[in-house]
Copies of this chain bind each other. A is one copy, B any other.
Amino acid sequence: MSEKIAQLKELLGEVADLRQVQNVLEWDQNVSMPPGGSEARGQQLATIGRIAHEKATSDQVGKLLDDLKQEGLDPDTDDGALVRVAARDYDKATRVPGAFVAKQAIAITKAFDAWVEAKGKSDFSIFHPHLEKVVELAQEYISFFPPAAHPYDTLLNDYEPGMKTADVQEIFDHLRPKQVELIKKVNSSKQVKDDFLHKKYNEKKVWDFSEAIITKFGYDWSRGRQDKAPHPFQTTFSVNDTRITNRFEADNPLATLFSAMHESGHAMYEQGGNPAYERTPLAGGTSLAVHESQSRMWENMVGRSLPFWEHFFPALKKTFPSQLDGVSVKSFYKAINKVESSFIRVNADEATYNMHVMLRLEMEIGMIEGKFAVKDLPEIWNAKMDEYLGIVPPNDAKGVLQDVHWSSGLMGYFSTYALGNLVSAQLWEKINKDIKDLDEQIRKGKFDVLLNWLREKIHIYGHKYDPQDLVQKVTGSKINSDAYVRYLTNKYGTIYGL
C-alpha cells in the first residue's frame, strides 16, 4: 500500500468513525432516549456532523486525492475503487457551500414541523410554502454541480450513483402499463380471505417468532440486535455491529415478522461487507436500490413464498393455535400476499407498491422541472392515484402528505424503493439458476447456501462497484423490469388464478 493511500485511509477513517458515531446517536434517539434528551442530542449531532464535514472536505484530503488520481490506479483494485469513490464523495461535499447546508438545515427543521402539523390537520396549505422552499433548495443544490442531461440526475445520484433520470424513466415506462394491467386483473378476481391475520396476537410471541426466523436466515446476533422503535430501520456502527429495529401494531400484528425479515436483509448485507473496507468509503452497501434489493428479497421472495411457509407455518400455528385454527398453509400464503389498492405506500402490497413510487417520482421530476406548481400537487396526486390504482384518497393526510421525505429535504430518493424491487427479481432469477434446489432448501428452513451466494456475489463488494455495474456483473444485464414483471405475473397469476 502506498504511503499516500495509507494517509488517505487514516483521514477518511476518522470521518467514517464520526459517521458511525452519528448512527449510534440516532439509534439511541429512536430506541432509548428519554424525551428530555432531545435538545442536547440535536446539539451533539450537529457538532459531530460539522466536524465530520470539516474533516471530509479538508484540503489535505483534496491534495491526497489529486495526487492519487495522477497515479492512475487500476480501477478494479480496491485501492483504485477507494480513490474513485472517495474523490466523488469529496467533489460532492466540497461543491456544496457550508452556508447552503446551514440554510437548508434551518428550512428543513421548519418544513418538518409544518409537515407534522399539516398531516395532523390534513391541510396541505400549511405545508405548501415549505415544500416550495424545499424544491427551491433542491434546485439551488443542483446548481452547484455541472449541468447533467436532466437536472434531477444530480439528486438521483446522491442515492443511486451512476444512474440517470432517463434510465429510471425508461425502466418505469416499461413497467408501469404491465403493473397497472396486473392490478386491474387482480381487482376483477375473487379476493382472498385474510381475516385471521387481524386477530389478536400476543406481542412477545410474535417478536420471538420474528427473531427465530431471522436467526434461521443467518442474521448474526453476535454482531447485531433487534430493538423496539417507532419505525423499523437498520443501522450500522461497524461491519460487526449492525442493528435492526422493529415495532408491533395490534391491528396488523404479523407485520412484525415481515419487518424483521426486511430489516435483517439490510443488516445481513452490511454484516457481509469486506472487513478490509472498514473505516473507508467502500464500506456499506453500494446504493439504496441494491440495499433494498436485499431487504425485499428476504421479505418477499423468501418470506412471502409458499416453500418458506411450508417450513414455518406449523411452528406459527403451534404458537398461535386459536388465531390460525382451520387455516391451511395455502390460505395463509394467499392472505399474506393479498393485493389491494390502498392509499398508504408503506402498507402497500408487492403488486401495488411500485405504483406509489412511480407516482412520487413523477411528482418530484415535475416539481424540479417546474412543470408542476407545488399548489397543484394534491390534485395531481389524486388524479394519478385514480389512474394507477383506481382509488382517490379521502384527504391529503392519506394522500400527498403521507410521507416524511420531502419535509426532510429528501428529493431523489423514492425511485430507489422500486428499483430495489426490480433488482431483487433480477437477482432471484439468477440465484435460482445457480441454486437449482433453492425452493427445496427453503422448504427445509435452510438458508445458508442462499446467504453465501449473496455474500459472495453482492455483500463482499461493499461500495466497490456502482449499482448498475454490480447488477450487470452479477446478472449479465443492467437494472430492468423484465424479471420483476415475470415474478409478479407468475406469483399473482397463481394466487388469483389469472
Q: Which residues of A contact B (CB under 8 A)?
A: 13-14, 17-18, 20-21, 24-25, 28, 32-41, 43-44, 47-48, 51, 220-225, 227, 237-241, 243, 278-279
Contact = CB atoms under 8 A, between A and B. Distances in A.
Nearest to A19: B44
A40 B225 contact: no
Contacts of A21: 21, 25, 44, 47-48
A227 B33 CA distance: 12
6 contacts: A36-B224, A36-B238, A36-B240, A36-B241, A37-B237, A43-B279
A38 B238 CA distance: 10
A189 B83 CA distance: 77
A249 to B, nearest CB: 24
A274 B44 CA distance: 19
B279 A41 contact: no
B48 A220 contact: no
A35 B279 contact: no
B20 A225 contact: no
Given A14-B47, A40-B237, A240-B40, A223 B20 contact: no
Contacts of A279: 43
A42 to B, nearest CB: 10
Chain A contact residues: helix, strand, loop or mixed: helix
A241 B41 contact: yes
Contact of A223 (B37, B43, B222): B37
Contact of A47 (B17, B32, B35): B17
Given A17-B44, A37-B237, 14 more contacts: A13-B47, A17-B47, A18-B47, A20-B44, A24-B44, A32-B227, A34-B221, A34-B223, A34-B225, A34-B240, A36-B224, A38-B240, A39-B238, A40-B239
Top 7 nearest A-B pairs (CB, nearest first) are A40-B238, A37-B241, A36-B240, A36-B223, A17-B47, A17-B44, A35-B222
B43 A237 contact: no
Nearest to A48: B21
A124 to B, nearest CB: 33
A14 B43 CA distance: 9
A44 B48 CA distance: 12
B238 A34 contact: no
Contact of A241 (B18, B33, B225, B278): B33
Contacts of A51: 14, 51
Nearest to A32: B225
Contact of A24 (B25, B238, B240): B25
Given A28-B24, A41-B237, A41-B241, A34 B278 contact: no
A40 B28 contact: no
A281 to B, nearest CB: 16
Given A18-B47, A25-B21, A278 B223 contact: no
A36 B219 CA distance: 13
Contacts of A278: 40
A22 to B, nearest CB: 9
A225 B35 CA distance: 10
Contact of A36 (B35, B39, B220, B227): B220
A103 B134 CA distance: 50
A38 B48 CA distance: 21
Contacts of A33: 241
A461 to B, nearest CB: 20
A72 to B, nearest CB: 31
A18, A41, A222, A278: which has the most chain B beta carbons within 10 Å? A41
